[in-house]
Amino acid sequence: MDSAAPRSTSALLLLLLLLLLLRAERTRGAELTFELPDSAKQCFHEDVEQGVKFSLDYQVITGGHYDVDCYVEDPLGNTIYRETKKQYDSFTHRAEVKGVYQFCFSNEFSTFSHKTIYFDFQVGDEPPILPDMGNRVTALTQMESACVTIHEALKTVIDSQTHYRLREAQDRARAEDLNNRVSYWSIASTDEQTPAFCKLAQSVAGAPSASVMGSRFFYRETNVQRISRNQSFPGPTSRLPDVRVYLLPWR
Amino acid sequence: MAGVGARGRLVMGWPVLLLLALCAAGARGLYFHIGETEKRCFIEEIPDETMVIGNYRTQMWDKQKEVFLPSTPGLGMHVEVKDPEGKVVLSRQYGSEGRFTFTSHTPGEHQICLHSNSTRMALFAGGRLRVHLDIQVGEHANNYPEIAAKDKLTELQLRARQLLDQVEQIQKEQDYQRYREERFRLTSESTNQRVLWWSIAQTVILILTGIWQMRHLKSFFEAKKLV
């Protein structure tokens, strides 16, 4: 009993150790959505082993013209990927050098629009579901391989759901923006993207009054005309002729 | 008896040490740099009843040695999570290394904000903090070896459990998709209605202004004896 107890506890500790190893090794990928202010740059870094393939997918969800600059640098400082004003892209690369790779998103070309950017950075392959499956000697049974197939298919489904969710978020942001703009355009909103609408509104309401004012201005009596009018008719201009009534002295 | 007990303690000794070592050196993957009072926010668009687990670890920049110290006690990070309506779901101060969990009760965009409010950073001029962050959502948050150990599942049962979790996540996402589509449709219909009313009002104003213009000009020209 005494010898069994330490053995079981050490086995338990070994299992816990394996679990902890798994926790440290399992999460090798990040999927984040963050807001990038105008004229700002944000960088993320990840430690990658040599020979491991990593992939970066990014998409701009809201803001401005829905574009962003992105570049990826290896540990030696070489730029292995650089794109300007891209809306979405996918980049994969096999790491030749072990070290810290950094990828940055830049919104420095924009002065007023802040952007929301989604990125998915995956390193390596998905680890097996149980720690000791990496060194199994027998092939998978039919059930297990069916499970693996279903798992891969479901991962594709989840990925396409994410893709549609991002697209829908982009469209919904635009639709809500349009809704707000329609509400406020009649009060001559100062939104920088609707000068055309403002001008139209002002011209529609302003055109008749402008033409009236224009006509009044056009047909006003000028000073020259007033003076010439006064001079050409020296006498009273509009006065009725004198009616003199003579009373004849009749008897 | 005593010898066995001593040997047993020795056998127990090294896994515990290794465990502690691993606890200290837990590599988290992605990291970024954050300034002193800077607030960094991340948005997670999730369906309801989804669990989100976030792990972070912070390191401080040491100006003298020009390296990041492996672990600095005394640093604190304030984590704030807001739900789509703006209500605060979680607002807590954690240490230099922490783990926060929350479950969403409404579908939508949740905002996870991190900022450090440690006074020690003021001592280091130009303080920079390295934050390792890892956020796992829904099915990815499950730790399968732990579940296998807890429920004593065979490999096949564990795989089936994983597939069930994945399908459940897909189902939740589809419900969320339906909710989002409805919101989008309401927004579009509201825009349509507003555009319709505005164009009717515009036409009426145009007609009225035209009538006023005609009458005013007619009386104006009559007064000027031009007509």
Would the pTM of this model clear 0.90, i.e. be above it?
Answer: no
How many helical (H) and strand (E) elements, i.e. helices and strands, does chain B have?
3, 9
Q: Is the pLDDT of residue B181 over 50?
A: yes
Distance from C-alpha of A129 to C-alpha of A26, rounded to nearest angstrom: 9
CA dist B196 and A180 (Å) reads 15
Check if the beta carbon of residue B214 is closer than 8 Å to that of residue B227: no
Angstrom CA distances, A132 to B93, B155, B159, stand at 37, 11, 14
Residue B173, burial from CB neighbour count under 10 angstroms (0-12, 13-18, 19+): buried
pLDDT digit string (tens) for B89-145?
999 888 888 899 999 999 999 999 988 876 655 555 456 788 889 999 887 878 888
Q: CA-CA distance, B59 to B79, in Å (whole number)?
A: 16
Band of residue A1 on the pLDDT scale cut at 50, 70, 90: very low
A131/B28 CB distance under 8 A: no
Q: Which residues of A touch B194 (CB under 8 A)?
A: 179, 182-183
Note whether A59 contacts B: Cβ–Cβ < 8 A: no
Residue A194 binned pLDDT confidence (cut-offs 50, 70, 90) = very low
Is A24 in contact with B163 (Cβ distance < 8 A)?
Answer: no
Beta bridge pairs of residue B98: B56
The yes-or-no verdict on residue A25 having pLDDT over 70 is no
Helix (H) or strand (E) holding B29: none
CB atoms within 10 A of CB B137: 19
How many other CB atoms sit within 10 Å of the CB of residue B21? Answer: 10
> Residue B34 CB: number of other CB atoms within 10 A?
20
The CB density around residue A83, as the number of other CB atoms within 10 Å, is: 14
For residue A11, what pLDDT is reported? 56
ipTM reported for the complex surpasses 0.90: no
Record: contact B42-A34, CB cut-off 8 A: yes
A35 DSSP β-pair partners: A116
pLDDT, tens digit (0-9, with 9 covering 90-100), for B139-179: 787 888 888 889 888 888 989 999 999 999 999 999 999 99
Whether chain B has a CB inside 8 Å of the CB on A142: the answer is no
Range name among A18-27, A70-79, A190-199 with the lowest pLDDT average: A18-27
Residue in the block written with tokens 């948050």? B141
At A22, the pLDDT band (50, 70, 90 cuts) reads very low
